[in-house]
Structure 1
């Protein structure tokens, strides 16, 4: 019995330190976006929520919803672009002493509206999404992150710098 307890204790102490008990985390993020349309680009704003399931400390599956907007001047007309995207990615983390660095890639379902004077254009579909960033672990269950995200949304592309906060369960 003592040997079994010693083996269980040794395995428990040798496991990687992780705040994830259930492997789930949720978060919110916001930041500036560079939206490109019809050969022109302009700055906008983006925000969203996300959830992740951590298979281990290195690999996780992520889902979320983001919304954003920007006014892009193209062909002498101001295009008011509003979009919603539902990214689905796999993320790989490299643990550091007080957080991690990560890279992620996957797909996103997008829906955007482009309003110009007297005209409205809409489109939806699937496109590539990816990103990279750093995570700083504030408390055992709270993380702060700063990352870059790219989204291909048909005629619209998006490059965003996002600040996020997350909680692990």
Structure 2
């Protein structure tokens, strides 16, 4: 008898945890989560994965790392194969990044001053305040991991 009660309780808990969760923003800009959004709200289904709430597919860890150490990929017109490999590397890890193409001498001079590199090369990855010259998956991966991005 106890086993039957336990089995029924487990079935009820499993069905309760499988309910869909919605995310919406009210008129004051406050974000809400719930199993039923108000009728006037433009609610989106939110993914709950390992207690990480995400409405846009990005994990909490990714959003936090992007706030603390944003990623910027610097590319150039002559950088074909390596820049493609660099983009593919970042996309494969599903990392949010911005890309800046250095095409003019003025942009090159500004990038040189900003990065502290005498003769900057592309691709260069900026992780927060750190610049990593050239595409090196090992160095890039280590810097991204240290910045708190999930693997």
TM-score by structure 2 length?
0.25
Larger strand share, 1 or 2 = 1
Q: Could you say which structure has the larger radius of gyration?
A: 2
Larger helix share, 1 or 2 = 2
